[in-house]
Amino acid sequence: MLEFKNVIVKLSSGDMTKPFSLVLNRGEVACICSSSIWGKTKLLHSVLGMAPSDGGYITIDGEQVVPAAADYFRQMIAYVPYQLPDVPMLVSELCDMVFGIKVNASAKLNREALQPIWQGMGIDQSWFDENITELTTTQLQLVMISMLPLLKRPIVLIDNAPQTPMVGQLMHDLASNGAEVLYTCEDNMIASDKIINF
């Protein structure tokens, strides 16, 4: 269970939001909707223990997210960022990099496991051999989102999720498999169980 308690977010304008609370249970999809990019990204980074919270506190399964415990919590989380990698690297290399990290070792993930998901999402298989810098932001985000079902993490965070029915369906599929899905966006077009508007 992911819980925000009296959390304050500092927006790109420098303004601070009013404290808000949110409880995200298993099987739920929640949205944080705001025109400010900075605040949302920093909020997700706070969940990941990669930035301090501007106010209030965040807990996962009742335990507060603090730097000392962040490594442990991050192994429970799958994360799709808004600011995407921009180093020269093939999509296949990026996928192998994610599949190859220790926490995914037991799942024995590989490119073949990803192919049916790509077919379902209508992603061209030739993207594997594309350089990530040649894909658009949305295309690269779709590649990252397509890896989420394989990672099988109890918490899923998507920063600035593409507002398409396909992505919405994938998030609900993840939730129906027991995941807690939290995404951010500027204008929400996806049906969610809970929405926070800044």
Partner 1 sequence: MEITLLGFVLGMLLLVIPLYIIIALDLRQMSHFLVSLGKLLALVVLTGGITYLLIKWNSVGANILAAMVMVLVSATLTIHKANLKWGRLIVPLTSGLLISVFVIGLYVLFLVLGLKNPFDTRFFIPIFGLLTGCSIGINANALHTYYMGLHHHHQLYDYLIGNGSTHGEAVSYFTKRCFQSALTSMMRHMSAVVLLTAPVLMLAMVMSGVTIFTAMAMQVMLFVMVLAMSFGSLYITLLMSRRYTFDAYDRLRPMKPQSTTVPSSSASSVQVEVSTPQQFDYDQFSSEE
Q: Is 78 exposed, middle or buried (0-12, 13-18, 19+ CB in 10 A)?
A: buried
| Least Å from the CB of residue 11 to partner 1 | 6
Residue 30 identity (one-letter amino acid): A
Per-residue interface string for the shown chain with partner 1, residues 55-94, x marking contact by CB under 8 A = ------------x--xx--xxxxxx-x-xxxxx-x-----
Residue with tokens 């925000």: 4
The rounded distance, in Å, linking the Cα atoms of 191 and 52 is: 30
The rounded distance, in Å, linking the Cα atoms of 63 and 60 is: 5
Encoded tokens for 153: 């993490």
For residues 157 and 44, the answer to whether their CB atoms sit within 8 Å is yes
Query: Judged by CB under 8 A, which of 3, 43, 49, 183 binds partner 1?
Result: 49
- As a dihedral over the C-alpha atoms of residue 87, residue 67, residue 152, residue 29, rounded to 10 degrees, the angle is -100
| Least Å from the CB of residue 49 to partner 1 | 6
CA distances from 61 to 112, 132, 195 (A): 33, 35, 21
Residue whose CB is less far from partner 1, 67 or 119: 67
| Least Å from the CB of residue 103 to partner 1 | 4
Residue 80 identity (one-letter amino acid): V
Per-residue interface string for the shown chain with partner 1, residues 136-155, x marking contact by CB under 8 A = --------x------x-x--
| Least Å from the CB of residue 4 to partner 1 | 10
Residue whose CB is less far from partner 1, 171 or 196: 196
131 binds partner 1 (CB under 8 A): no
- Which residues form the interface with partner 1 (CB under 8 A)? 9-11, 13-22, 45, 48-52, 67, 70-71, 74-79, 81, 83-87, 89, 97-98, 100-104, 144, 151, 153, 157, 191-198
